[in-house]
A and B are shown apart, each in its own frame.
Chain A
Amino acid sequence: MAFRTEPITVNFGPQHPSTHGVFRMRVTFDGEVIVDMEPVFGYLHRGSEKLAEERTYTQVITLTDRLDYVASMSNNLAYVLAVEKLCGINPPERAQYIRVIMAELVRIASHLMGLGFLLNDLGAFATPLMYMFREREKIMDLFEMVCGARITFSYMRIGGVAEDLPPEFYPAMTRFLKEMPGYIDEYEALLRENEILLARTKNVGILQPDKAINGSVSGPNLRGSGVPWDLRRADPYEIYDRFEFDLPLGKVGDTYDRFLVRLEEMRQSVRILNQAMEQIPKGPVRASVPMLVRPPIGDAYAHVEAPKGELGFYVVSDNSIAPYRCKIRSPSFINLTVLRDMVLGWKLADMIVIFGSLDVNMGEVDR
């Protein structure tokens, strides 16, 4: 005798460990299969854009730290680039190199964390995460040497960076660059061919390239679908046109491809870092810019390839000491828009993995 069954709606989150922050998914299940999913966010809304309107241009740098808090350096970078564009300031060359070094270091740190938590969600509980945190810790140490903080750096300034690299940075960085490729190989040996991982991620949560483009997805998620788009290549900001690196691309666009793209991107970051440390010139690290800048009336948009995707700042100035408007185009928020299409038809356990593979950061989604 057949029972009559009805779909059931479940609230997943907002305080669930695998939602990577405070994120709620209202999921309708038919048995274990997802028939509908509605993302609900806003729990971490702090009004950064509004707060920016009543702070001076320099003070806003501290707000940008709190967007994507695992990759604050690239947030700093995107914001100062926008203001520099607005005022027409050219930072010294050494400052540009330091910024690139910091942005790439933070990309490695963010990918380590993204991969670690993805594997954690997959059931590889804590072991790979701890291995990855060990390397992240070394990067955090480098940041502490440079700017004195480990998460909220506030390191970049309009017209350069706050301070030059300290002497103890160079040996530590050399050691890190020597060790890191070995560790990346280790992560690969740990899980790349693991049968359980393959069964859970291969062909799961496929993001078609056309859907990814239509959804404005950017970053490793887009490249995982095989679209060769990277702002470091497509619109080289700073000095990225001086470095050689490859764009790792996925073939199918499934969770496994996104996993591999991130893994490979860390290698490419190490490559960029090696070149940058070789080329870095001597000189000043800060153009002479007053702490209270007053840009001319106008607007500017600057974007960078943050670890999560295209991070853009649109700053409007009315010639006062605070921005008239500061719009943040955050990659995580826009990458989330395709989540519904990706999880429909999959089971509950797959939803967690697909969400984890998007590597969103709630601090950035809600701003």
Chain B
Amino acid sequence: MYGIGIAKGMLVTIKHLFRRTFTVQYPEERLKVYPRYRGQEFVWYEERCTGCATCAKYCPLGIIKIVTHPVGNPAEGFDYYVDVFDIEIARCMFCGLCVEACPYDALFMGTHYEMASYTRQKLVINVDQLKKAKKQPSAFMRPHLLDVKYEEDTSLTPERAGRMWQGRWAGGEKPAPQAPKTEE
């Protein structure tokens, strides 16, 4: 008989009237992102960064620009001061390869997702912004951050954020820098 199939479909639709809604009203209600969320606002720790530019090399788009100059005594080996650390967020695809490559746990994906801006110039994150930014790193490629819960304005300390150089931050000896895991 004609119409039975349509009636069956209608029944399903009517059932949905009594279900809880699945959507949320966005600006008022916000969903929580998962700890591994790869979001905007790259979190960068000046103290941990050596200026090695591994992150820049691994970016498939080449949008990280790093300029450094050596400081300190040549006999003891230089430290490098990072003058420029520009991330051109407008072209970034949040793949996380830079974060995966960083051997010193200095660069993290962020947990923010509202990245609209009125001008393109504002879509370049520079070193001052990175220094000043609220540090709420995501747990992507940093499994030791999986259980960190962020409040509105907490900032993670560089000690907590890293997992390799624990000794250095605890006031212990400075371990030998670990070479990035590449073939060459």
Contact = CB atoms under 8 A, between A and B. Distances in A.
B12 A189 contact: yes
A134 B16 CA distance: 12
A195 interface: yes
Interface size class of B (residues with CB under 8 A): 35 or more
B9 A291 contact: no
A290 B183 contact: yes
Given A163-B141, A191-B9, A291-B182, A148 B38 contact: yes
A193 B100 contact: no
Interface in B25-66: 33-38, 58, 60
A163 B95 contact: no
Interface size class of A (residues with CB under 8 A): 35 or more
Contacts of A59: 58, 60, 97
Interface of A: 55-56, 58-59, 62-63, 65, 127, 131, 134, 137, 141, 144-149, 152, 154, 162-164, 166-168, 186, 189-198, 290-294
A62 B93 contact: yes
Given A145-B34, A148-B96, A189-B11, 13 more contacts: A63-B60, A65-B95, A148-B38, A152-B93, A154-B95, A163-B36, A163-B141, A189-B9, A189-B12, A194-B5, A195-B2, A195-B3, A291-B182
Interface in B128-184: 138, 140-141, 143, 146, 180-184
A197 B100 CA distance: 49
B6 interface: yes
Contacts of B183: 290, 292-294
A293 B182 CA distance: 8
A190 B9 contact: yes
Contact of B36 (A56, A62, A166, A195): A166
Contacts, number: 98
Interface in B90-133: 93-97, 100-101, 109
30 contacts: A58-B58, A59-B58, A59-B97, A62-B95, A63-B60, A127-B13, A131-B16, A137-B22, A144-B33, A144-B37, A148-B36, A163-B140, A166-B36, A166-B146, A167-B146, A189-B8, A190-B13, A192-B5, A193-B5, A194-B6, A195-B2, A195-B6, A198-B5, A290-B181, A291-B100, A291-B180, A292-B182, A292-B184, A293-B183, A294-B183
B4 interface: yes
A312 B104 CA distance: 37
Contacts of B141: 162-163
Contacts of A291: 58, 100-101, 180-182
Closest 9 CB pairs of A and B: A193-B5, A148-B38, A59-B60, A148-B36, A194-B5, A290-B183, A62-B95, A292-B182, A190-B9
Nearest to A153: B95
